Structure 1
Amino acid sequence: MTETHATITPGAPVFPPGRYGRRREPDRRRPRLAALLAAVLLATLGLIAAKLYQQYGDPRYDAQVITYTEITDSQVVIDFRVTVPAGGSTTCVLRARASDGAEVGHEEVTVTARPGERRIDARHRLATSARPFIGEVVRCRPAG
């Protein structure tokens, strides 16, 4: 004959007292530990990303197109402004695109700031293979 208790749901196993040891309560520390480890991992990855950006990124070379004018079938004139370290120089990649998005002109231009200045206002005539729709500064990096 087996012993049944009123608190046990039907179909649940009944273990004889003392035979299998004490039942463990669910551990509530593990979700906290997992959250703590995830937070430490995210903080570590954030620090690594910040260090790599400082080491390899070029945040000091910021370029903006002021205007693009004199659009013909074979050229576009691009006026742009670049922020560089004081008295520094930069090489910028200029590009012209047609109305369908195809690249019709591409050139690297090196510009230098006057001693003590950080902003360079430059103008460049970019030759194109077809009529451009827009002139752009793709990126700027340290000259060299």
Structure 2
Amino acid sequence: MVTQRELPAGRYGSRDQRRGPRWVYWALLVVFVVVGLVVAYVAYVNLGDGPITTEPASYKFVDDHTTQFTFTVTRDDPSKPADCIVRTRSADGDEAGVREVYVPAGGAQRTVDTVVHTSKRAVIVEVYGCSYQVPPYLKNA
């Protein structure tokens, strides 16, 4: 026959003693879930696909200081103009040239041609990013 040993109450505490009201655990669980959902939503908005996407179409390194670049811009709101930043990089990874390109309103998808002048020979050209926040000096150009 197996008997259960009694533990000294002063040393280990009582088994019948509760740590706190049950509603505190549920409230903390709800707060934890809500905070998790908020973090997931913020990450989705900031890291998900943006309203403007680009895809390179073609490029040509004309000489050591000139690059021709064609890319396609797709917008979720074609009624708004956009501003895209195109940059080139040299073999050592330095930024060799940068140019802002105005993309006028109209058409959900538009092909854009540009020329980027560089400080040294470029080996790569890319669209750094696009935005609907077009600076005034580009609108008047």
Would you say same fold, with TM above 0.5? yes
CA contact (8 A) 1:83 1:118 kept: yes
1:78 Cα deviation after fit:
0.9
Instruction: Give the match for residue 81 of structure 2.
Output: 89
Q: Which has the higher strand share?
A: 2
The residue matched to 2:122 in structure 1 has which SS? Answer: coil
Q: 1:88 to 1:23 in 2, by over 3 A?
A: closer
CA contact (8 A) 2:55 2:71 kept: yes
CA contact (8 A) 1:73 1:132 kept: yes
CA contact (8 A) 1:88 1:118 kept: no
Matched AA of 1:67: S
1:26 Cα deviation after fit:
6.5
Tell me which stretches of 4 or more aligned residues in structure 1 moved more than 4 Å.
25-32
Q: Name the larger-Rg structure.
A: 1
Instruction: Give the match for residue 75 of structure 1.
Output: 66
Deviations 1:84-110 (A, max 9, x none): 222431111110100111111011111
Q: Which runs of 5+ in 2 are unaligned?
A: 136-141
Asked if 1:62 corresponds to 2:53, the answer is yes
Give the paired residue count: 126
Deviations 1:8-63 (A, max 9, x none): 35xx4257xxxxx994257794795243331122224445x279x49xx9822112
Q: 1:31 to 1:8 in 2, by over 3 A?
A: farther
Asked if 1:112 corresponds to 2:104, the answer is yes
Asked if 1:8 corresponds to 2:5, the answer is yes
Instruction: Give the match for residue 32 of structure 2.
Output: 38
| Separation in 2, partners of 1:58, 1:14 | 60
Q: Which has the higher helix share?
A: 2
Instruction: Give the match for residue 131 of structure 2.
Output: 141
The CA RMSD measured in Å over matched residues stands at 3.4
Instruction: Give the match for residue 17 of structure 2.
Output: 24
More deviation in 71-80 or 126-135? 71-80
Q: Which runs of 5+ in 1 are unaligned?
A: 1-5, 16-20
| Separation in 1, partners of 2:81, 2:38 | 35
Instruction: Give the match for residue 98 of structure 1.
Output: 90
Question: Identity of paired residues, percent?
Answer: 24
Q: With the length of structure 1 as denominator, give the TM-score of the two structures.
A: 0.69
